[in-house]
Structure 1
């Protein structure tokens, strides 16, 4: 087994948020790559091969909903754990995410400890199903 806890692709168009998430996860032992929006995520997911993707909802080019839908609809990526991290905290948004197949939902502003725990749980689940 690798020393890293798992590979995470952090997707957010806000550089400050993207770096905040990436630094917190890196310090915990995750291998982290970043993408600036949904299209960048889809372009990079094959080479990164993440266990978990953290995904913002509101982004240019391709939003988080469509990105998650495309990830779930593709046989090569439908196994990747998806965690939405968004300011959209409405119950309808959460239901939409669950309908798409999102594995976890965290609202901004978020507690870094909660972020780390949820990503750790998802990475463990991803690795146990692929082992």
Structure 2
């Protein structure tokens, strides 16, 4: 499918889950400038409520922080991967948790992409674009 920039057509829908307002805003603005529709959540519980709400569009890609209050990104990814209705949604972990064991943990959790904070918006846009176009890798 060819994407049209500057038109009303959206590339895809992305659920952005991060407890930091400024990070959600940064990600949302960059995605929206590229033509994505964005849904926001402040933690894993809110994100799962959104994902299970039949009135909300199913996202094509999810970005999630690892460390958040209430329920963190690790819990959220595990819940998504265990749910047959959600398990195929690509997930990009965008986190400051960048120790080598965090990358291994992300791989074991079946995260499709891992981006360290602080990040370059172009890196995030490229990864989201690939995952939105091709699905889980």
Q: What range describes the TM-score normalised by the shorter chain of this pair?
A: over 0.9
1:22 corresponds, among 19, 28, 46, to 28
SS of 2:45's equivalent in the other structure is helix
Aligned residue in 1 for 2:39 = 33
Aligned residue pairs total 128
Question: Following the alignment from structure 1 to structure 2, what is the Cα–Cα distance between the partners of residues 85 and 37?
Answer: 13
Counterpart-to-counterpart distance in 1, 2:24 and 2:51: 16
Point out where structure 1 has 5 or more consecutive residues left out of the alignment: none
Shift of 1:4: 1.3
Deviates more, 1:21-30 or 1:46-55: 46-55
| Deviation of the 1:125 alpha carbon | 1.1
Q: How does 1:31-110 map to 2 (within 5 A)?
A: 31-46=37-52, 47-110=56-119
Tell whether the 8 Å contact from 1:9 to 1:48 is kept in structure 2 after alignment.
no
In structure 2, runs of 5+ residues without a counterpart are 4-8
Q: Distance in 2 between matches of 1:104 and 1:51?
A: 14
Which secondary structure does the structure 2 equivalent of 1:106 belong to?
A: strand
Larger Rg: 2
User: Counterpart of 1:50 in 2: which secondary structure?
Assistant: coil
Residue deviations 1:72-123 (CA, integer Å, cap 9, x gap): 0000100000000000111110111111110000000000111100100010
Q: Which protein has greater RCO, CA pairs closer than 8 Å, 6+ apart?
A: 1
TM-score where L is the length of structure 1: 0.93
Q: Are the counterparts in 2 of residues 57 and 84 from structure 1 also a CA contact under 8 Å? A: yes
Per-residue deviation at 1:34?
0.4
Matched, 1:126 2:135: yes
